[in-house]
Amino acid sequence: MRIHVVSDVHGNARDLAKAGDGADALVCLGDLVLFLDYADHARGIFPDLFGADNARRIVALRTARRFDEARAFARGLWAELAERGVDKATAVESAVRAQYAELFAALPTPTYATYGNVDIPSLWPVYARPGTTVLDGERVEIGGRVFGFVGGGLPSPMRTPYEVPEEEYAAKVEALGEVDVLCSHIPPDVPELTYDTVARRFERGSGALLAAIRRVRPRYALFGHVHQPLARRMRVGATECVNVGHFASSGRPWALEW
């Protein structure tokens, strides 16, 4: 068996269409939507609405961890649009729908997917086609191995769309039981795996995931979320923990074979 795994697609439909080539299945660990590109300030929903200069400004504020200023700056931009008759929720949903239509059409069959923290789960049933199985707090057998999936992120200063309380997230992890491969969008709460060397901050990792790794001892724990991690791969006990990469920039899936 050969499984290709991607995460943090962030609008890269071109490479996503080829991500399953040569594999028996594709696993996608979320963040399909591109709202704001920290490397290319002209790409994403935010610059489409407000321009690259404003995107550059909000990236700088967030990178400096001036989150309150970033939110105030964004509120001002949205207020200006509202004065011109543009509704925030309608504008964002319309842009997300356009991205989802392209991205879900690019997914190969079969695909097993879970949500990232910037995804909008309520829209996935509209665009997921036959051959795409969406799992969150659920397991599936692929080639004789049990894969468990936990989607979304934990509350953060970024206030992204699919952040769930720690208790709810832990309950999803607990519901998986014994698995061979633990798949999540965010990493376990290990400093080397949660620190982003470019953003210069720790992202939220899950203590519940780390506890499950130590208790269940899956062969692999696969995740994304941290785009430029201090460590892309490390062992925790018997488990190989692997950041499968920022697919939006690399365009290359990570391969798991047995």
Residue closest to 152 by CA, chosen among 179, 124, 177: 124
Give the pTM.
0.93
Average pLDDT over residues 224-233: 96
∠ CA 100-105-111, nearest 5°, is 100
Residue 200: which pLDDT band, with cuts at 50, 70 and 90?
Answer: confident
Residue 63 confidence (pLDDT): 86
| pLDDT at 190 exceeding the cut of 90 | yes
Residue type at 30 in one-letter notation: G
Average pLDDT, the chain: 96
Instruction: Tell me the sheet residues that pair with 196.
Output: 201, 229
Residue 37 confidence (pLDDT): 87
Average pLDDT over residues 31-39: 92
Percent of the residues in the chain that have a pLDDT greater than 70, as a whole number: 100
**254 and 242 in contact (C-beta within 8 Å)?**
yes
What span, in angstroms and rounded, lies between the C-alpha atoms of 140 and 119? Answer: 21
Q: Which domains does the chain have, with CATH numbers?
A: 2-32+107-257 (3.60.21.10)
What span, in angstroms and rounded, lies between the C-alpha atoms of 215 and 227? Answer: 27
Size (the chain), residues: 258
Half-sphere exposure of 136 (CA within 13 A, CB side): 20
**114 and 30 in contact (C-beta within 8 Å)?**
yes
Residues whose CB is less than 8 angstroms from the CB of residue 98 and which lie 6 or more positions away in sequence, other chains included: none
What span, in angstroms and rounded, lies between the C-alpha atoms of 104 and 160? Answer: 21
Residue 198 confidence (pLDDT): 85
For 141, the 3-state DSSP assignment is: strand
| pLDDT at 117 exceeding the cut of 90 | yes
| pLDDT at 201 exceeding the cut of 90 | no
Higher pLDDT, residue 198 or 90: 90
Q: Which helix (H) or strand (E) holds 15?
A: helix 13-16
| pLDDT at 58 exceeding the cut of 90 | yes
pLDDT digits (tens, 9 = 90+) for 59-102: 999 888 899 999 999 999 999 999 999 999 899 999 999 999 99
pLDDT digits (tens, 9 = 90+) for 230-248: 999 999 999 999 999 999 9
For 172, the 3-state DSSP assignment is: helix
Residue closest to 239 by CA, chosen among 208, 207, 206, 214: 214
Percent of the residues in the chain that have a pLDDT greater than 90, as a whole number: 92
| pLDDT at 24 exceeding the cut of 90 | yes
pLDDT digits (tens, 9 = 90+) for 173-189: 999 999 999 999 999 99
